[in-house]
Structure formats: structure tokens, C-alpha cells
Structure 1
Amino acid sequence: MPDTPDMQKTIALVVRPNTAGIEQPVQQLVDFLQHSGYHVVFEAATAGHLALPGVEAMSADQIGATAQTVVVLGGDGTMLGIARQLAPYNVPLVGINLGRLGFMTDISVERMIPALDAILGGKARSEKRTMLEGCVKRNGETIHCGQAVNDVVVARGAGAGMIELKVTVDGSFMYNQRSDGLIIATPTGSTAYALSAGGPLLHPSLGGIALVPIAPHALSNRPIVVPDTSTITIEIVAGRDTSINFDMQTFASLMHGDQIIISRSPHYMTFLHPEGWTYYDTLREKLHWNEYPAGDCRPK
């Protein structure tokens, strides 16, 4: 007796929109998964821009409640968007890279079928990543909250001058900083905006949160890593058009006296990688650490 969809294991697909030629690899992936006995569904936005018959659409909440695994075809931005929505459900994520860097979407389209076959067959490396949560308080009232996989960024507006921030960690005053802003990054986010601002690379297994100033006025304001058990409070002291964003995707405008309270989220993000994968493989590939001078015959 064949399995009904309720009896089958459900695999959800999330696909980056506006990607030329994406229909063919998506169809290939759907055919492979269905032939392997899985019930394949599209995330609702994916279903809206991909007209493939016979594939059910589900909301993120429905996927979180029913899916065994979520396969993301896109870049890190696509992964960030769905990861935040699915964080409360702890559904493992597999990333197929259609972007440029792909620190989180680390499997090439060319390798996706054998890699997924091995991962879904149990030959996978599971990796948990921490997240951040932050809330904005104004006159004692919470006006905005958000979750971040990569970072929470407090920054000046376009055309505005420097902003001044008062930063405390676990109730202890750290500094008043004049700068273009401040990045509060997870280890996952240490390879994103924080890296371009001069922050350190943090291995994902580390329990740390990086505070990285953006163009600080005082050169002595250096990046610092604090324990991920810390509660970080940032108060807006001065500056115009200051805003906060979570993974560059959700925003709120800030006023003088507003406080942003940031801590580790109770939720985690779980990645599934091919067996034998290491974080250093990703760094070498994405940061081109494996490149040698012309004529050098060492293996790449």
C-alpha cells in the first residue's frame, strides 16, 4: 500500500525569487525527492513565483509543524529570511547555493542531488547556530522586537552625522562611542557585515557575541567579543535618523533615549551539511584562502 502524504516524510523547498533558469534545477530536485518517497511542498512565497504542478504550498508555520527538513535554494539572504521564521520549530536546514558567497548555503547546484541523497540517508553533519533577539524600549515600553541570525545593527541615517551610543554589558558600563554605528553579531554573522567592518572571525561553535564599531571616531574603539550569556544594552545618546535592523531585513527608527536590549535567543538554527564538511572548508572556499600565486602547483 503506497504512503499517503500524511504518512510520508515531508521536505519543504524554499527558492529565491527572480532567478533566471531556476525552474529546471527545482524540477530536478522535486523529481528526485518524490521518486525517493518524500512528500514535497513549497513555502508559500516560493509557490507564488514557481508554477510547478502537483506541489502543495505551505506557510512557514505549517512547514515548521510538519516538515522533516527544509531545503533552501538561494543565497544567504534567502536562508536568513526563512531561518528566522522557522527558528521556533528547530527544523534542520540544507542550503543549495545560488548566490555569490553562500556561507550558509554551501552545496553547489551541481552536487545537490548526491549531497541530498547522502544527507537524507543519514550521512550528514548536524550543526547548531546561535541567534540573537533584541527589543527597543522607549520610555519604558517595548515598541519593537526582532530576531537575528547574523546581526543586529544600529546605524546612522544616510547623510546624517555620527551617532553617539552608550553601551553596557550585564549592567556594567562599557563605553560611550561616537561612530557611524555598531554591529552586534553572532558567530554566524562574523563573516557578514561585521567582517567588512574589521570584526573577528568567530567559529560557529564559540559561545560569543561580537560588538564591532562602524567607522568609530576614536581609533581605540576596537571590536570586542563578549560571552553569549551577556545582555547588551545600547542607548541612543545623540545623532539623527538612527535606525536598527535585524539581518538587514526588519527595521525600526530610533529616538534619543531609546534603549536596545540584545541577548542570545532561546532558539537555534540547525544546518545539515554533507558528511566530512568542516567550517574551514567554507572559509577557504568563500574567502579564497586556497588561492596560490600563478605557477604554484600545490593542490587547490
Structure 2
Amino acid sequence: MHFPIVALIGRYQDTGLDAPLRELAALLSEAGRTVLVESRTAQNTGVNEYDCAEIDEIGKRAHLAIVMGGDGTMLGAARELAPYGIPLVGINHGRLGFITDVPLQEVTRAVTDLLAGRFETEERIMLQGRVVRGDEVLFSATALNDVVLNRAGRGGMIEVRVEVNGVYMSTQRADGLIISTPTGSTAYALAANGPILHPALKAVTLVPIAPQSLSNRPIVLPDTSVLDMTLTAISRVETGASVHFDMQTLSELQAGDRIVVQRADHVLRLLHPVGYRFFSTLRRKLHWSQMPQATDSLE
């Protein structure tokens, strides 16, 4: 049997999530699977007729986690469950997402195929980073999308000295810097004119946000790189700087603080329906034009 124990995690803030969540749980239960509903999801949706479990219990017990919501919900689940090696499936409850790629109306077919062993597996690299002040580690976290260092106020810029694998690269004055995985290349980094990276690439991008010098361009680096960024100056009109690991934030950085970022020890395992194509998602999400004769077979 594929995936004997399946966990359900939902964006419980969404109105009307309880109905599709119940339908999914019933489908899994009728297929002979044990269903675990993440505790906060159960509490906030009222779907408590199945076993409830905290995230760490899900990590230890479940063989698959199905995330119903948007990409933000998937980011949180990925950070917490990737260390356990549990594969995740994203069911989109709302607009099409980049990593919650199964439309709500196709849940029954997609999940039926999953349980029958018909799916495609993909691995996504993640980042781990820490904020260091002197000899003290102030904060550490992982990220699936990106680590973002930026100014915390309205005016001025921050100045950052960047080293890669212990070698000085540049000192940049900008509104901020984005260190992005291929997954995050279609998020904030894309809005800052960074390149789109195919998820299969083992690489990270360093993308400046509104740099003072137009010669400061995005750069793609090997995923073996260790980036060491020192906050060397904060403009007098600034209220400070902050760093974000996906949605996790540490504010009130000081000049001299270091942000060290490298590839995480673990990867995220995503499962997709058979026939999943990254380029199809890009076309739909970014409204890329395509020839009427184009088919996924050409991808």
C-alpha cells in the first residue's frame, strides 16, 4: 500500500476550507488510509472527526502530507517537514500557485492516482542561515524560497559586504539583497528582476533590490556556495534593517551583524501528478503567450 498514513495540513484562515478538507479526508479513509489532521487545521476548521496531530508527530508518523492552501502554506509545511523526509503534495485553494500545483477541482483524480502509485517525484533544495553578532548566533532558520536582507524604514539604503566561500565578492549599497533557491526564483527575486531558475538546477541566486549602482546585477552561484554578508552601514535616516527567512523575520539588525546562508542539509520532496510540467505552470501563472499548436510534449 502506498502512503498508509496521510497527514492533512490546511490554510485554516481560508473561508470554506472545511468542506474540501472533509471530502479529501473521506476519500483517503475510504481508500483504507489512516488520516491525521494537523492540530491547528483541525481546531480552526472544525474537521476534528479524524486523529489530530502536532507537526512533530506528523513528521514521525506520516508517510505523506497533503497541503491545501496556497504557496505560503506550503512554505511553512516544507520548513517543518522536510527534515523528516516526508513527501508533500500541494492542493491549491484559491489562485494557481507555483508549488501548490493541483487545482481543487482535480483533487479526486490526483489523489486517487497518488494512492495507486502514479505520480512524479521532484526534489527542491532549501537554504539554512543564521544571524551572527560577534560570537553569538542571534537567529537561525531554514527557507524554501529565499533569505532576504533589507532596510526596515522608508528612506536610505543599507550597505552589505558579500563574501562567497570566504572570498570577497563585492560591497553593495541597495534597498536589500535576496538569496534565492530555484523555487524562490519565481517569488520576490522575480519581482526584483532576478532570473527564473528551473527547479532541477543546483544553484542559488543573489539578487540586489534597487541597487545604487546599475552595474550590480543578479548573479547565479553553485548551491555549494556559502554566502557571508556583513551589514557594514545603515543610513542615518534609516530605522534599521531586517532579515527574512521565507516568512520568518528578525528585525533591528545592527552594523557589523553577519548573515551566513548556505544550502540546507535536507531537501523538500514534492509529488506531482503524472504529466506535470514546470513550463506549463509558468505559462499559466505568468501569462506567457504560446502558439495554438504548442503541446506539453514539446517541453
Aligned to 1:279: 278
Distance 1:52 1:132 in 2: 33
Distance 1:68 1:121 in 2: 14
Q: Which structure 2 segments of 5+ residues have no match?
A: none
Distance change (3 Å), C-alpha of 1:156 and 1:289: same
Post-superposition shift, 1:285? 1.5
Distance 1:299 1:145 in 2: 45
Kindly report which structure 2 residues correspond to 1:54-133, keeping only aligned pairs within 5 A, or say none.
Answer: 54-133=49-128
Post-superposition shift, 1:298? 5.4
> 3-state DSSP class of the match of 2:205?
strand
The CA deviation string for residues 122-175 of structure 1, in whole angstroms up to 9 with x for no partner, is 110000000000011111221110100000000001324100000010111111
Post-superposition shift, 1:260? 0.7
Amino acid at match of 1:97: N
Post-superposition shift, 1:99? 3.5
Aligned to 1:5: none
Distance 1:177 1:281 in 2: 36
Distance change (3 Å), C-alpha of 1:74 and 1:264: same
Question: In terms of mean alpha carbon deviation, does 26-35 or 244-253 score higher?
Answer: 244-253
Question: In terms of mean alpha carbon deviation, does 55-64 or 18-27 score higher?
Answer: 18-27
The CA deviation string for residues 185-241 of structure 1, in whole angstroms up to 9 with x for no partner, is 000000000000000000111111100000000000000001000000000011141
Distance 2:48 2:204 in 1: 44
TM-score normalized with structure 1 length: 0.93
Kindly report which structure 2 residues correspond to 1:11-50, keeping only aligned pairs within 5 A, or say none.
Answer: 11-50=6-45
Post-superposition shift, 1:251? 2.7
Q: Which structure 1 segments of 5+ residues have no match?
A: 1-7
Distance 1:287 1:207 in 2: 23
Post-superposition shift, 1:299? 6.8
Aligned to 2:206: 211
Moved over 3 A (4+): 297-300
Post-superposition shift, 1:47? 1.2
Distance 2:94 2:216 in 1: 33
Aligned to 1:269: 268
> 3-state DSSP class of the match of 1:253?
coil
Amino acid at match of 1:49: N
TM-score normalized with structure 2 length: 0.93
Report the count of equivalent residues: 289
RMSD of aligned Cα (Å): 1.5
Distance 1:30 1:15 in 2: 12
Amino acid at match of 1:260: I
Aligned to 1:157: 152
Distance 1:22 1:221 in 2: 44
> 3-state DSSP class of the match of 2:63?
strand
Is the Cα–Cα contact under 8 Å of residues 144 and 252 in structure 1 kept in the other structure? no
> 3-state DSSP class of the match of 1:19?
coil
Aligned to 1:177: 172
